[in-house]
A and B are shown apart, each in its own frame.
Chain A
Amino acid sequence: EVQLVESGGGLVQPGGSLSLSCAASGFTFGDHWMTWLRQVPGKGLEWVANINADGGEKNYVDSVKGRFSISRDNAKNSMFLQMNSPRPEDTAVYYCVTGRFSHGYWGKGTTVTVSS
């Protein structure tokens, strides 16, 4: 059974930093693109970043470029999102999902609140 478990969310001050993790199991993690999506509670979905299978290709939405960094450790079946200089508008539930072109498996999400 595929499982994706996000962790690391919490309250962070604007300009601070936070690191999100996603632990994957139940599939060959190192063979797949992975993606971070986010959702402000009660609002719509937003694509944040993705990373290819070997970590050599990364893409970001413009609003997080230069502030967030996506990475992965295939030996540990894990993906990460380093959030530097977060802004209040980054407040959301962050989902770890499989895939590049479609997202068949989702974690339950981790909540990030950016506030002073």
Chain B
Amino acid sequence: DIVMTQTPLSLSVTPGQPASISCKSSQSLLHSGGTTFLSWYLQRPGQTPQLLIFELSKRSSGVPDRFSGSGSGTDFTLKISRVEAEDVGVYYCMQTTQVPPTFGQGTKVEIK
């Protein structure tokens, strides 16, 4: 199985400042068809997770453009250009290139 490793596991950010979460996979996530099936989810406190980014860098409908995904191969990053209070929660990366799909451990983001 592909192991997904997120860093840091927790992050405290001042509103308006940028934030970055790293996700590394134990194998390349580049699918034979040329797509990298790496997605990012945010689980706000007490809520169901929501899709932020899919296929490495595509924002899901309604997701603010302050969220961006990047990377290649085995190294990936979620960036928040200017953190807002509503961005608190746990962020998960997930690979669906290979079965079984696997998640990172999660990164808890809080506001200073």
Give the distance in Å from the alpha carbon of A46 to the alpha carbon of B94 in the complex: 10
**B96 with A61: CB separation less than 8 A:** no
Interface of B toward A, CB cutoff 8 Å: 1, 35, 37, 39, 41, 48-51, 54-55, 60-61, 92, 94, 96, 99-106
Nearest Cβ on chain A to B23's Cβ, whole angstroms: 13
Q: A45-B92, A45-B103, A47-B101 are in contact. Are A102 and B54 (CB under 8 A)?
A: yes
Nearest Cβ on chain A to B76's Cβ, whole angstroms: 14
**B48 with A103: CB separation less than 8 A:** no
Give the distance in Å from the alpha carbon of A115 to the alpha carbon of B41 in the complex: 30
**CB-CB nearest 9 A-B residue pairs:** A102-B54, A47-B101, A101-B96, A61-B100, A45-B103, A102-B39, A106-B48, A101-B37, A104-B51
**A44 with B100: CB separation less than 8 A:** no
Majority-rule SS of A interface residues: loop
Interface of A toward B, CB cutoff 8 Å: 44-47, 59-62, 95, 100-104, 106-109
Nearest Cβ on chain B to A6's Cβ, whole angstroms: 11
**B51 with A44: CB separation less than 8 A:** no
With A95-B49, A104-B60 given, name 20 new contacts (CB 8 A): A44-B92, A44-B105, A45-B94, A45-B103, A47-B94, A47-B100, A47-B103, A59-B100, A95-B48, A101-B39, A102-B37, A102-B39, A102-B55, A102-B60, A102-B96, A103-B39, A103-B41, A106-B49, A107-B48, A109-B48
Give the distance in Å from the alpha carbon of A60 to the alpha carbon of B1 in the complex: 12
**B55 with A44: CB separation less than 8 A:** no
Give the distance in Å from the alpha carbon of A109 to the alpha carbon of B41 in the complex: 16
Q: Which of B51, B99, B101, B104 has the most CB of A within 10 A?
A: B101
Give the distance in Å from the alpha carbon of A106 to the alpha carbon of B47 in the complex: 11
Give the distance in Å from the alpha carbon of A74 to the alpha carbon of B50 in the complex: 25
Give the distance in Å from the alpha carbon of A6 to the alpha carbon of B48 in the complex: 13
Nearest Cβ on chain B to A50's Cβ, whole angstroms: 8
Nearest Cβ on chain A to B112's Cβ, whole angstroms: 23
Contacts of B96 in A (CB 8 A): 100-102
29 contacts between A and B (CB under 8 A): A44-B103, A44-B104, A45-B41, A45-B49, A45-B92, A45-B94, A45-B103, A46-B103, A47-B101, A47-B102, A47-B103, A59-B100, A61-B100, A62-B1, A95-B48, A95-B49, A100-B96, A101-B37, A101-B55, A102-B55, A102-B60, A103-B39, A104-B51, A104-B54, A104-B60, A104-B61, A106-B50, A107-B48, A108-B48
